[in-house]
Amino acid sequence: MREKADKYTEFVSRGFGKDLAKRLGLPQPVILRRYSPKAPLLEGPVLVLGQGAGADGVAKVLLDWHQDVRRHATPKEKLGAIVVVLDELEHPEQLSATMLTVGAALRDLNKNARVVTISRPAATSDAPAVAAARNGIDGIVRSLAKELRAGATANGILLANGLAANAASAISALRFFLSGRSAFVDGQFLTASSAGSQDQPDWEKPLKGSIAVVTGAARGIGAAIARTLARDGATVIAVDVPAAGDHLAAVANEIRGTALQLDITNPDAGQRILDHAVQRYGRLDIVVHNAGITRDKLLANMDNAKWDSVIAVNIASQLRMNETFLASPDFATNPRIISVASTSGIAGNRGQTNYAASKAGVMGMVRSTAPLLAERGGTVNAVAPGFIETDMTAKIPFATREVARRLNSLQQGGRPIDVAEAIAFFAQPAAAGVTANVLRVCGQNLVGQ
């Protein structure tokens, strides 16, 4: 699939176009640094701020990754990232020195740099000062993400249940946020709920030996997900409706997987997927619920067919399939479920009450399913895309499309690969302690798609 081009971003990223945009005060998005196998994790040193064992542990991990680590800022030295460890924070007044040090270092960030905080979530059991301090980091990260330029992003990791800052699950989230895999993730938080796998990860082929199924895999985001999981080592079963059979077969052949033509709203869809996986490969490890449809109308003009079809495909089918998977011994060893939600399910979108209901429903399903999967060492998470350059968004009228592209902190649309990278992260063994998350892949925007 040829990804949709953003000609404006290409024009203003270099030479005359860059100078013209600057003179006219126009948006100046840059071409984002995306993941490439064997490419460096970062471009430039990492400044690690914070005191105590947590900061020391994170610095050691980064050194083990062969990163150039600084514990104190050196003026005018270009940085690839700033990692701020605030796991011992107990009062808002403690934020000042560290955050002003961050502020002084921001001018030295390279293009596509990263700022990542590591802290603890506020809880109702916390003393008021502790809760205020911890919740303050939320406001800092989301505001800073809107201030950064040149493709730089700011995101945060929350250490639940007393986790150490260098717990395996937190470190896997840190690597994701530092890497090009998170190019279109900005102003977001991931919660690490348990320590996770202590095995040494294979960062280049983290899914080697895994068996995955991706629904809606014939085109667009689904095809990108299938390709990305295969790139990371998984064997992929690509699922889509019979009408998409030719495209589905092409994707499956390209990634050396198998194609399964199936309407996921059929009552036996989950069992058919399991049977296919077990007969071919002996088990199923990863389920990606990507298939979805839109049938947009203002609620005043909505009819049963439009409402019911969206609910049937986007959420009811997932619930039914998950029941089948959870009941099967062939989906019982550290299983992963990742669902594609949408920012429409978070912020709402005009003319999409049915779609927003289904995608908000996906998020509720994920949070409720997490304890059920935890019993077998599994995780369930959701990815909520914003404006992604697909065939669907290419049909939006030009002016509307341009506005939607620019209304985020990165001032551009995302690509299907950005959604796929987030899903591949959640599928990794190293992310075993990361569950019940809804991660927006939207460049920090809440405009529904």
Nearest one of 270, 282, 264 to 325, comparing CA atoms: 270
**Count of positions (residues) in the chain:** 449
In Å, how far are 7, 53, 62, 178, 420 from 113, measured between CA atoms?
A: 23, 25, 16, 8, 21
Beta bridge partners of 119: 158
Contact yes or no for 212/195 (Cβ under 8 A): no
Q: How far apart are CA 351 and CA 448, in angstroms?
A: 10
Contact yes or no for 416/389 (Cβ under 8 A): yes
Place of tokens 């689904």: 222
Beta bridge partners of 158: 119, 191
DSSP 99-138: HHHHHHHGGGEEEEEEEEEEE----TTS-HHHHHHHHHHH
Nearest one of 127, 35, 46, 124 to 85, comparing CA atoms: 46
Please state the φ and ψ torsions of residue 302, each to the nearest 5 degrees. -75, 145
State the pairing for strand pair 235-240/211-215: parallel
Q: How far apart are CA 263 and CA 304, in angstroms?
A: 20
Give the amino acid at 141: V
C-alpha triplet 355, 250, 225: angle, nearest 5°? 45
Give the count of beta carbons closer than 10 Å to the beta carbon of residue 204. 11
Residue 355 appears among annotated catalytic residues: yes
- Cα-Cα-Cα-Cα torsion 247, 249, 255, 260, nearest 10 degrees, comes to 110
Contact yes or no for 164/52 (Cβ under 8 A): no
- Return the SS3 of 155: strand
C-alpha triplet 264, 266, 272: angle, nearest 5°? 75
- Return the SS3 of 156: strand
Contact yes or no for 428/172 (Cβ under 8 A): yes
In Å, how far are 18, 360, 374, 446 from 349, measured between CA atoms?
A: 33, 12, 33, 9
Of the listed 8, 35, 281, 355, which one is catalytic?
355
Give the count of beta carbons closer than 10 Å to the beta carbon of residue 93. 9
The residues annotated as belonging to the active site are: 355
